[in-house]
Chains A and B, each alone.
Chain A
């Protein structure tokens, strides 16, 4: 089983739609959770950190379910500019005290006019 799994998509949605992605992780010791956005042939950029209480940033909402070991990203009122690949990132502590960041392969979103 992969450490972090995402549905690769693509998710094709019309402008204005609401879309949700899930990401499952296998290591119960995972402590920090992130969603990054990656545009084609560009570097990943942080969209949000995801906390146990859930968090909202404008049209974007991140949720964490530790019991079922998944995080989700909800995008409301999709815009054409939201078209990108969304990477789930999870980290857990190494014995050295640093943290290992595990990247999912990404979910591709295409918002259609």
Chain B
């Protein structure tokens, strides 16, 4: 199993550009998450999904959108990129919620200039 994969690994965007961060998991997990991690800060939840077709906002959803058309894929869309969105983005998945661990992808380092 590849686990959770993310593309791209690195990206530089200009202010106002848009992009989609891809996330795929092959563990048949229902739950998927998008986090951002800023230096010296804990991971902050952007969006999460409890299954195909169901998504919900996390703590910091502004400026982002998600969709979940399949169990495997959970892309994150950045519209009108801003310097405040410079961060490392991690996608994660879990079998369930509660006592279940989250498995993380390798992350996408995004710089907006």
Query: Which residues on A are within 8 Å of B, measured CB to CB?
Result: 4, 8, 31-32, 34, 41-46, 49, 87, 91, 93, 96-106
B35 proximity list for chain A (CB < 8 A) = 103
Closest B residue, CB atoms, query A5: B42
Given contacts A8-B40, A106-B42, contact A43 B98 (CB under 8 A): no
| A49-B101 Cα distance, complex, nearest whole Å | 8
Q: How many residues of B contact A (CB 8 A)?
A: 22
In the complex, how many angstroms separate the beta carbon of A85 from the nearest chain B beta carbon?
A: 11
A43 proximity list for chain B (CB < 8 A) = 90, 104-107
| A61-B101 Cα distance, complex, nearest whole Å | 18
| A104-B37 Cα distance, complex, nearest whole Å | 11
Closest B residue, CB atoms, query A46: B101
Query: Which residues on B are within 8 Å of A, measured CB to CB?
Result: 31, 33, 35, 40-43, 45, 48, 50, 56, 90, 97-99, 101-107
- Which of A41, A98, A101 touches B102 (beta carbons < 8 Å)? A101
B45 proximity list for chain A (CB < 8 A) = 100-101
B48 proximity list for chain A (CB < 8 A) = 98
B98 proximity list for chain A (CB < 8 A) = 31-32, 91, 93, 99
Closest A residue, CB atoms, query B105: A43
- Which of B33, B40, B56, B104 touches A96 (beta carbons < 8 Å)? B56
| A84-B99 Cα distance, complex, nearest whole Å | 24
| A69-B101 Cα distance, complex, nearest whole Å | 20
Closest B residue, CB atoms, query A98: B97
A103 proximity list for chain B (CB < 8 A) = 35, 42-43
Are the C-beta atoms of B41 and A105 separated by less than 8 Å?
yes
Select the residue from B33, B56, B101 with max chain A CB neighbours within 10 A. B101
26 sample A-B contacts, Cβ–Cβ < 8 Å, listed by A number: A4-B42, A32-B99, A34-B101, A42-B106, A42-B107, A43-B104, A46-B102, A49-B101, A87-B42, A87-B43, A91-B97, A91-B98, A93-B98, A98-B31, A98-B48, A98-B97, A99-B97, A99-B98, A100-B45, A101-B33, A101-B102, A102-B42, A104-B42, A105-B41, A105-B42, A106-B42
| A38-B90 Cα distance, complex, nearest whole Å | 12
Closest B residue, CB atoms, query A96: B56
